[in-house]
Structure 1
C-alpha cells in the first residue's frame, strides 16, 4: 500500500465500521484460512509462564465469534472479508501466549449464533462469508466461541431505544419489547449452534463459550453513556439476563462457560478504568460500544488460565 493509499483505506474502513456499529453492538466472521499469530499482536507479560510448544500447547486453536471477539480498532483492523478483525483481539493474544501449531481465527463483526452454522452477510459491501463452523477440524483441541449478544439484535435494540436522536439508523430496528421471547430464542439457538461446534471439534477439545463483560453500572452515568438511572437499571437487567441465558446454553451444550462478569466488575463504560468504549468510536482504540485492548487482554488471560488447568 502506498503512503497516498493508506489514508483512503483508513477512511473506507472507518466508514464501513461506523455503519456496523449498530448492527454489531455485541457481535462476529470467517475467512476459512489458517492464520498464524500476528506479529505484534500481543506482548508476553514479564515473568509469565509460556506453554511448551511440544508438551502443553494446543495443536490447533480455532476462534469463533462476533465483534466482541474480533475487536475492531484494537488496534490495527483488517477488513478480513468484511469481518473487521483486529491484530490485538483475544484470539491473537491467546495464540501468542500458547503457541499452538495451527491457529484459525474466523471471528467476525455482525455474527449471531446462526452464523456459526450458516453463511453470514457482512458489512462494507463484502457480500457473505461461510459458516464459522467450517473452520473446525478434528484436530482442534482449543475452541473459543463468543456469541449470543447479537441474536435478535437485542443489545442494538436496547442502545437504540435510548439513542434515537444520536443514531438515526435506529429507526429501522424494533424497540425492546419481548425481551423474554428474544432471550428464549437466543438460548435455544446458541445451544443448538454450540452442539454443532462440539460435534465438529476433536472429541477431547476444550470448547469455551466466552461471555460478555459488564457495560453498565446502574449507579453511574457519564458523557460516554448518558443514560438516566431507570435506563441504566433496565440495561443492566438485560445484560444480567443475557449472561444467564448464554450460561444455560453452554451447560446444555456441554461446553465450559467463561464468565467475564467477576473480572469486569468496576470496568463498566462509566468506570474510572473502562474495558468497553462508550457511544463514540475512537479509531485508535475501539469501535463504539465495543471492547478496548484492556478487555481483550483480560479475556486472553482467562482463556489461557482455563486451558492450563484443563
Structure 2
C-alpha cells in the first residue's frame, strides 16, 4: 500500500505519545527540539497521506502515561508543562496514541539486548505491568474528555526480537515483555472502543532481520537505537491509513 490518496476526513488530527511516535530518522530531527519530533515519523507521514487540514504532533520522547493525560516534563506542541491532551479539542477527528512502554521500564529492558538484564529488573517490570492497565485507562479518560468525538488509534510497539535473534542475551524474556506490553495496549484500546494497530509481518522485520523495522543500534538505518527505522515508520503509517480508510 502507498500513502498517496488523501481522504476528506479527518480534518483535525492529533498525535500523542512517546518516542515510537516522535522519532524517525535522526538526520531530519531538529537538534533543538527536546521531544525529537522527526519529519519522517509515522504521524507526519499519516497526516500527509490523509490530507488533514489541521495536524498537531504532540508526541515526545520519554513520555509516560502521565505526560499524555496529566503533565509533561519536556513540553510538547501544547503549552510548556501541559499534558499532551491539551492539544485536543472538540473538533479533533483522529487521535493516534503510542504510550505505555516507558511506564514499564522499556529503555532498561532494551539494554538487555546488549548484556544480561540487571538484577531486580524482572521483578520491577512485573510490578509495572500490573499497574499499566489503570494508567492506560486514565489516558483514555483524558482523551475522551478533551475530544469526545475523536477516533482513537493505539499503535503497537513493533517487536525487536524473534527466533532469529540467537545472540541476544535474555532474548526470550525481552520478547515476551514487549508482547505483554502490546497485549495491555490492545486490551485498553478494546475497553475504550479504540483501534489497535500493528503492521502486518512485523515479526519478520525485527532488529535481527535483513530489512529491520526496528534497529538495535540505528547505525545502518540512520534511526535511533531500539526505535523504528524509516521503513518501520512507513509501515506503521500505512497500517493506520488502512485501518481508518
TM, length-normalised to structure 2: 0.88
Cα distance in 2 for residues equivalent to 1:257 and 1:246: 8
Question: How do 1:211-226 and structure 2 match up within 5 A?
Answer: 211-221=156-166, 226=167
> Does residue 1:198 correspond to 2:198, yes or no?
no
Does 2:199 correspond to 1:264?
A: no
Partner of 1:13: none
State how far apart, in whole Å, the 2-side matches of 1:241 and 1:106 are. 26
Cα distance in 1, alignment partners of residues 193 and 236 from structure 2: 21
1:255 matched to which residue of 2?
A: 194
Tell me: CA distance 1:253–1:288, structure 2 relative to 1, closer, same or farther (3 Å). same
Distance in 2, matches of 1:80 and 1:114, equals 24
1:206 Cα shift? Answer: 1.2
SS, match of residue 212 in structure 1? coil
In structure 2, how many angstroms separate the alpha carbons of the residues matched to 1:272 and 1:86? 24
Structure 1: gaps (5+ residues): 1-43
Q: Tell whether the 8 Å contact from 2:24 to 2:229 is kept in structure 1 after alignment.
A: no
Pick the aligned partner of 1:78 from 22, 25, 30: 30
Cα separation, partners in 2 of 1:164 and 1:237, compared to 1, 3 Å: closer
**Secondary structure at the residue paired with 2:68?**
helix
Instruction: State the match for 2:64 in structure 1.
Output: 112
Q: CA RMSD in A?
A: 2.5
CA distance in 2, matches of 1:80, 1:291: 21
Q: Deviations over 1:141-199 (max 9, x none)?
A: 0110111111032x22223345469xxxx98x962224332111111101211121122
Q: Is the Cα–Cα contact under 8 Å of residues 161 and 176 in structure 1 kept in the other structure?
A: no
State which drifts further: 299-308 or 61-70: 299-308
Partner of 2:168: 227
Give the one of 155, 179, 183 matched to 2:125.
Answer: 179
The structure having more radius of gyration, on CA atoms, is: 1
What's 1:158 paired with? 109
Tell me the equivalent position of 2:236. 299
- Kindly indicate whether the alpha-carbon contact (under 8 Å) linking 1:121 and 1:129 is maintained by their aligned counterparts in 2: yes
- CA-to-aligned-CA distance 1:11-59 (integer Å, 9 cap, x gap): xxxxxxxxxxxxxxxxxxxxxxxxxxxxxxxxx94xx65124xxx2311
Which residue in 2 is equivalent to 1:240? 179
Aligned 8 A contact 2:24 2:233 in 1: no
Write the deviation string for residues 49-83 of structure 1: whole angstroms up to 9, x where unpaired. 5124xxx2311010011000011435400246410
Aligned to 1:209: 154
Q: Which consecutive unaligned segments of at least 5 residues does structure 2 have?
A: none
1:103 is aligned, of 37, 51, 55, to 55
Mapped contact 1:75–1:284 kept (Cα < 8 A): no
Deviations 1:251-305 (A, max 9, x none): 2223221134x43121000011111111x34397111111100010011111111
- Separation of aligned partners in 2, 1:83 and 1:283: 23
- Partner of 2:201, secondary structure, is helix
